[in-house]
């Protein structure tokens, strides 16, 4: 079927993979496939990709994860939120803390 998402194989790969780089890529790909149709799930998986990218000290992976979060927030229509994150140091710190909190929750 044309245009069908590859989410089933990505879910299986995520569940069985042990390689961090491949897992980071799978989380990224999964988030990318979901950002238009399930933006909350895309944010969740982008944060998981971000966590791994930070652990690997991978600046491109970090950028990609933040970019995906931005796309998902844009899909949700949260333009004002995104603008404040980019322009306000206070909001940027708040966003950083929010990501840290979510990463902490995901660690369980």
> How much is the pTM?
0.71
**Mean pLDDT value across residues 87-107:** 62
Q: Give yes or no for a contact between 36 and 27, defined as CB atoms under 8 angstroms apart.
A: no
**pLDDT greater than 60 at residue 9:** yes
For residues 87 and 15, which has the higher predicted lDDT (pLDDT)? Answer: 15
**Mean pLDDT value across residues 86-93:** 60
Summarised one tens digit per residue, pLDDT across range 10-57 is: 787 888 888 899 999 999 999 999 999 999 999 899 989 999 998 999
């Amino acid at each position: 079927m044309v245009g069908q998402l590859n989410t089933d194989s990505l879910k299986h790969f995520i569940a069985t993979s042990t390689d961090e780089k491949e897992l980071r890529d799978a989380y990224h790909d999964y988030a990318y496939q979901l950002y238009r149709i399930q933006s909350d799930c895309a944010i969740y998986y982008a944060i998981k990709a971000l966590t791994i990218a930070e652990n690997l000290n991978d600046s491109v992976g970090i950028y990609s994860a933040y970019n995906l979060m931005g796309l998902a927030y844009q899909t949700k229509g949260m333009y004002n939120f995104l603008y404040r994150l980019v322009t306000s140091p206070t909001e940027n710190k708040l966003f950083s803390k929010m990501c840290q909190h979510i990463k902490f929750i995901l660690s369980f």
